[in-house]
């Protein structure tokens, strides 16, 4: 099973929300249902974002990069994207002055 990184971006604001992993099956399910569906590396299973939390991602566009080894999902985020309660998983700012 080949995994590729999935970058998730808000469709309207263009904010980067999270990074997840997808395989062929999760991409097919995402295309079919319109809900972001990923592969959990820790649990070795398919998971639908929001199935537990209610914070679904409605997929508006799917784009592959030039090498087709990464995918970009543009989504309408329902609720927050990060399990910490933040809108984006990328909320830890690095101080570049050191």
Q: Is the pTM of this model over 0.95?
A: no
Q: Give the tens place of pLDDT for each residue, 3-26.
A: 999 999 999 999 999 999 999 999
Q: Which segments of 2-98 are extended strands (E)? A: 4-10, 16-22, 37-40, 45-48, 57-64, 71-77
Confidence of residue 1 (pLDDT cuts 50, 70, 90): low
Domains of the chain with CATH codes:
4-77 (3.10.20.810)
Q: How far lies 71's CA from each of 16, 38, 47, 79, 84, in Å?
A: 13, 12, 17, 22, 24
- Supply the pLDDT for residue 10: 99
Q: Tell me if residue 20 falls in helix, strand or coil.
A: strand
Residue 58 has a pLDDT of 99
pLDDT tens digits along 39-83: 999 999 999 999 999 999 999 999 999 999 999 999 999 999 999
End-to-end CA distance of the chain: 41
């Amino acid at each position: 099973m080949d995994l590729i990184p999935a970058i998730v971006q808000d469709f309207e604001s263009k904010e980067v929300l999270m990074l997840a992993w997808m395989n062929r099956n999760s991409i097919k399910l995402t295309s079919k249902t319109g809900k972001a569906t990923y592969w959990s590396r820790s649990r070795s299973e398919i998971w639908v974002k929001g199935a537990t939390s209610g914070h679904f991602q409605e997929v508006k566009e799917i784009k592959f990069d030039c090498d087709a080894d990464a995918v970009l999902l543009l989504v309408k985020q329902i609720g927050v994207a990060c399990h910490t309660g933040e809108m984006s998983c990328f909320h830890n700012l690095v101080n570049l002055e050191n």
